Amino acid sequence: MKRRIGILTSGGDCPGLNAAIRGVARAAYEMFDAEIIGISDGYRGLIEGEWQEMKRSQFSGILTLGGTILGTARTPFRNMRVIGEDNVDKVKAMKDNYEKMKLDCLVTLGGNGTHKTANLLSQEGLNVIGLPKTIDNDIFGTDFTFGFHTAVDIATEVIDRIHTTAASHGRCMVIEIMGNKAGWLTLYSGLAGGADVVLLPEIPYDIKEVAKVVEARAKSKKAFSILAVAEGAMSKKEAKMKKKEREAFRAETGFNGIANRIAKELQDIVGVEARAVIPGHIQRGGSPSAYDRVLATQFGVHAAQLIEKGEYGVTVALSGNNIIHNKLSEIAGVPKPVPQDYQMIDVARDMGISFGD
């Protein structure tokens, strides 16, 4: 029995997308009679009907390739049922194009927003399977997402390289790590990179406590300090504010990003020479690590196995050493912050790393 499989990648790019696409396609070709339809630029391509029938050769040589061969775009979930000035009913358009492509199922690779829309389409009657990707590792129900470990490697290397500059010049270096709502990437790279202070969105900080650490290191003749700060980290004062109030407060400070603000505050309080480092999108670019190549491939193959069984409305996940799947309806929109009692936090505290609290 032939199956026509649509594949799209949505949201931000990250290492491992092509490895996952390859895993789905190659396993499907091996397991049953498959046709792969590549949908361009995520849900935008599904809405606008931009797609192509893929050839087997297009899945060759992409295991190590960063980014996505299908292209991606951000199409916010909150706008999916909103009809804008173009008068396009996006949900109807996606369902119509699914039928025009004569798909038996749709495989969506993406993060939280992608999974929300995948669940919406599943509830609308389409056969959908999700694959969890994000460097933030904040998708509920899976131990790890593909892309995360590569980003940890990159962020750790950034911290490693900053160490030499910080030591040479006796500076306090504040490194801003990606992660607006969850601090997984900052926690892991901060621990791996030997940061002295790690600031996470889940643990509001007191700048005076952070200053104490920097000052204590200076007095003990440790000439430099390394701070790994999640872009979504917030002070205890900010944590009490509503989102719009917090955004307004940050706009008033005039600083571009949390690292610049913290560097200036520490310079004023402690009198140290402080610098902000913002590696930005470097953290999600380039070739996937060996770990992510394997994980993405495992996820892709599991998706093909689900297609063979005709099991839809689910997303693939890692649980311990096992590849499993969860219902989209049970994980879509569910946050996955770093728990306060997470073992890695205890490990960091026992190593003397401060969380500024």
Which residues are catalytic, by number?
136
Helix (H, G, I), strand (E, B) or coil at 132: strand
Q: Is 320 exposed, middle or buried (0-12, 13-18, 19+ CB in 10 A)?
A: exposed
The number of helices, as runs of H, and strands, as runs of E, in the chain is 13, 11
Q: List, in sequence order, the alpha helices (H) in the chain.
A: 17-31, 43-48, 90-100, 112-123, 148-169, 184-192, 207-219, 236-239, 243-253, 258-270, 290-309, 328-331, 343-350
Q: What angle separates helix 184-192 from helix 343-350, to the nearest 10 degrees?
A: 40
Helix (H, G, I), strand (E, B) or coil at 333: coil
Helix (H, G, I), strand (E, B) or coil at 316: strand
Question: Side chain identity at 19, as an amino acid letter?
Answer: A
Count of alpha carbons within 13 angstroms of residue 247, beta-carbon side: 4
Bridge partners, 132 (sequence order): 110
Strand order in the sheet with 314-319: 51-53, 34-39, 3-9, 105-110, 128-132, 314-319, 322-327
Are 108 and 131 a contacting pair, CB within 8 Å?
A: yes
Are 230 and 200 a contacting pair, CB within 8 Å?
A: yes
Tokens of 220: 């003990």
